[in-house]
Amino acid sequence: MTRRALLFFSAGLVFVLALGWAGFPRLLYARAEQPLRFSHKTHASDKAGLACADCHPLAEDGRFAGIPRIDNCAACHTEPQGETTDEKRLVEEYVTPAREIPWLVYSRQPENVRFPHAIHVKRAKIACERCHGAHAESDALPLHETNRITGYSRGLTKMSDCESCHAEHDHERTACLACHK
């Protein structure tokens, strides 16, 4: 390969690498902002003193509450708890009219999959951070990214994540229908 050929080959390589790693994800995922700015850090701080399960509880029968409903927010936010625009909007647009906040859910599984939180949290005693990351330390919610082809959220737990964790915990032989409906 001559020097000139190497130059054009490298240029093509670098261009496509840049396009593939930087441009492709922007093309593949539709980004959307959450309806409100929400700080997990503030809520989990010593001042508010909330644990994950205070807003995302597991019911007695094992059902997971998921994203808290507006009633949960209303328990503390009947009046604005600060002076930010989002706090004002929370009270005026959602808490007062008792309207649910249309949160975009990062972890909504496809319809053919079920994930029982109760077994993982109560029996296997897996910390929330193991799958959801250090959400409690984030000051703002990241953009919600939806895969334009599959329609799934980018933050979705992948089957490979489940498999590797199950392998770690000696549960490689979990049957298909344990997770797939």
Positions that interact with another protein (CB under 8 A):
4-6, 8-17, 19-21, 24-25, 28, 63, 111-112, 147, 149-150, 177, 181
Pull the structure tokens for residue 114: 């079920």
Q: Is the Cβ of residue 62 or residue 133 nearer to another protein in the bound state?
A: 62
| Closer Cβ to another protein, 85 or 112, answer by number | 112
Give the nearer residue to another protein in terms of CB position, either 42 or 150. 150
CA distance 7 to 5: 5
Contact present, 121 and 128 (Cβ < 8 Å):
yes
Report the distance separating Cα 59 and Cα 53, nearest Å: 10
Residue 121 to residue 108: CA distance in whole angstroms:
17
Q: What is the DSSP letter of 120?
A: I
27: which 2 tokens?
Answer: 């093309």
Give the residue with the Cβ less far from another protein, 10 or 96: 10
Q: How far is the CB of 151 from another protein (least distance, A)?
A: 8
CA nearest 82: which of 36, 124, 115? 36
Q: Which residues contact residue 38 at a Cβ distance below 8 angstroms, ignoring those fewer than 6 apart?
A: 86, 140, 141
> For 72-78, which contacts have Cβ atoms below 8 Å and span 24 or more sequence positions?
73/101, 74/98
Structure tokens at 8: 């054009």
CB of 181 to another protein, least distance (A): 8
> Of 64 and 86, which has the nearer Cβ to another protein?
64
